Amino acid sequence: MNTSAYEMVIGLEVHVELKTRTKIFCECSTAFGAEPNTQCCPVCMGMPGTLPVLNKQVVRYAVKAGLATHCSIARYSKQDRKNYFYPDLPKAYQISQYDLPLCSGGWLDIEGENGPKRIGITRIHIEEDAGKLVHKEGGGTLCDYNRCGVPLIEIVSEPDIRSAAEAAAYLRKLRAIMLYVGVSDCKMQEGSLRCDVNLSVRKKGSQTLGTRTEMKNLNSFQFIQKAIEYEFQRQVEAVEAGEEIVQETRRFDQATGKTFSMRKKEDANDYRYFPDPDLVPIVLSQEVLAAIGEEIPELPDARKQEYVERYGLTAGDAEALVNERAVADYFEAAAASTKAPKLLANLITSEVFRLLAPEQTDIPIAPEHLATLADLLADERLGSAAGKKLVSLMWHQDADPVGLAEEHQLWQISDEEALRPAALRAVEENARAAADYKKGKSSAIQTLIGQVMRATGGRANPVVTRALLEKLLEE
């Protein structure tokens, strides 16, 4: 099926769990991983006679998220009941926000497939999370209500996204910002950042939106991209076959890489929103907004620009460093102690990232030690292979790289006389490569350089080695 005549139109609804100590309307703990149904109370279970009390830290965190994404903050907003029945919602309604959200009209800039692109943010509102359904292997479903009442912000984008890659770029940028402002840990494997994808297709050049489907609760960048790619293909095939796209909620199956229908998609009217009579409106003074605004740190885009201008990094390396605030902080601490920030950045984005476990951000090498290693590489006292080995050694034994290089005999050999025996042997044992070089095949010298590198355990300076071999071959 040729999909090139069609484009996808995507809007994302991102649910971010806020890292408050207690829930949004009660004092129950929000800690992850507790025994099922041990962090519940009559308030978050919706028992008759209970009254919710809004956690003010939830509002502060939501405002921080809004300011960091260029939203307008409402001085007056309210909370509404979203009514529906599902086993994970004991009250049969969710306290959310409908027509007066806390934040609206924001945007994020991403690197799109054709250059920089701005993705609009329709709104950010606060709401409570629902419980969790646990499906048993032998049949049956259990309900864990610990998550009921955990505070969320829902970040709703405009339908400005046109590919799976753009969706992933938007989500990575959004996740980085939430981590920078400190409102969430954004651990996707724990469900503290989840994404609903709304997708429709239309002919390229058309301005009419097609019928959308929604894929819910996707919690990894890989699954989000796969779900988008499959659903786009499915909808195009349906349109080409003359079938009608049904507005519905679909589930992405990780094992098959396909989406499956769950239920007909509801419209807003189906939820019968009305203002929650137990909660007063949220009124924010200009002084409060100004105080929260002062807490916003330097954000990823500003740091990226600084790294490009101050340290001469490529945009790609700078982007990789700023995605995690802890990594960016580490880079800056190390960069203060080195004369080779570009080499330092390369060590982090290649060797350090290779050793980091998924979701790990703490680097067990002291910043000053990695800075020293970058200087040693810049001074050509170490070769690239030795640099890689030292990163691995320091990962398990944080120590000065100078001492480790001595202990493991990793210093680069740049003395011509020290390299001469290995170079002469390489020429003698590779007569064909030597002859090819003399006949004008310049690439043949790489074989000889490789032989010298092997003979010296990778310690030979490749520039000095090449010059020495060229001299020997011309004699």
Three-state DSSP at 327 gives helix
pLDDT at 124: 99
**Residue 346 is encoded by which pair of tokens?**
């390369």
Provide the mean pLDDT of the chain. Answer: 92
pLDDT at 454 > cutoff 90: no
What ranges do the domains of the chain cover?
Answer: 6-292, 300-401, 416-474
Q: What is the mean pLDDT of residues 392-407?
A: 93
Q: pLDDT class for 1, splitting at 50, 70, 90?
A: low
Per the listing, tokens 């043949």 go with: 444
Classified by CATH at the fold level, domain 416-474 comes out as: Arc Repressor Mutant, subunit A (1.10.10)
pLDDT at 288: 97
Q: pLDDT class for 346, splitting at 50, 70, 90?
A: very high
pLDDT at 292: 97
Among 230, 113, 222, smallest CA distance to 168 is for: 222
For 131-171, what is each residue's pLDDT tens digit? 999 888 888 899 999 999 999 999 999 999 999 999 999 99
For 211-245, what is each residue's pLDDT tens digit? 999 998 888 899 999 999 999 999 999 999 999 99
For 423-437, what is each residue's pLDDT tens digit? 788 877 877 877 777
For 21-53, what is each residue's pLDDT tens digit? 999 999 999 999 999 999 999 999 999 999 999
For 164-218, what is each residue's pLDDT tens digit? 999 999 999 999 999 999 999 999 989 999 999 999 999 999 999 999 999 988 8
Alpha carbon 318 to its chain's center: 14
pLDDT at 266 > cutoff 70: no
Among 152, 117, 130, smallest CA distance to 84 is for: 130
Q: What is the mean pLDDT of residues 315-343?
A: 95
pLDDT at 309: 96
Exposure string of 235-253, with b = 16+ CB inside 10 Å and e = fewer, is bbeebeeeeeeeebbbebe
The Cα–Cα gap between 93 and 148 comes to: 11
pLDDT at 17: 98
**Residue 156 is encoded by which pair of tokens?**
């709703």
